[in-house]
Amino acid sequence: MSCFSELINRIAMGKTELVSEAAAGRATIDVTGLLDLRAREQSEELDWRRSIVDLMKLLELDTSYGSRKELALELGYKQIDIDLKGSAEMNIWLHQQVMKKLAENGGEVPEELLK
């Protein structure tokens, strides 16, 4: 399973039929609602709306640099950009791309998170 597929599956709380329906355009996933619900259940305050690390923590995914790099490369970030720009730039780009890809794959994502 790809890193992004795992991320979507975690947001949908393992409901693979919902993920399939959303990807086919027959359903939507309330990304904000599901993530806000999970965030309220956490003891740690996580800023998933701005931080890829916090988003991944919320979804109980590996937040290591290697894992974030793998996801970034999967979503189209170039190795040369990782080498030249560093992890902060990659993290910002990655969060934006994850939000855009969620919206493209049946996720309801607020407009302010797509910028």
Tens of pLDDT, residue by residue over 48-70, are 999 999 999 999 999 999 999 99
Q: Classify residue 115: in a domain, yes or no.
A: no
Q: Classify residue 112: in a domain, yes or no.
A: no
Q: Classify residue 114: in a domain, yes or no.
A: no
What global pTM score does this model have? Answer: 0.88
- Judged against a pLDDT cut of 70, whether residue 88 lies above it is answered with yes
Q: Classify residue 26: in a domain, yes or no.
A: yes
Model pLDDT, residue 55: 97
Average pLDDT, the chain: 89
Residue 101 is part of which domain span?
3-107
Model pLDDT, residue 40: 93
Q: How many domains does the chain have?
A: 1
Share of the chain above pLDDT 90, in %: 57
Q: Classify residue 55: in a domain, yes or no.
A: yes
Closest CA to 35 of 16, 54, 48, 50: 48
The number of angstroms, rounded, from the C-alpha of 16 to the middle of its chain's C-alpha atoms is 16
CA distance 34 to 11: 7
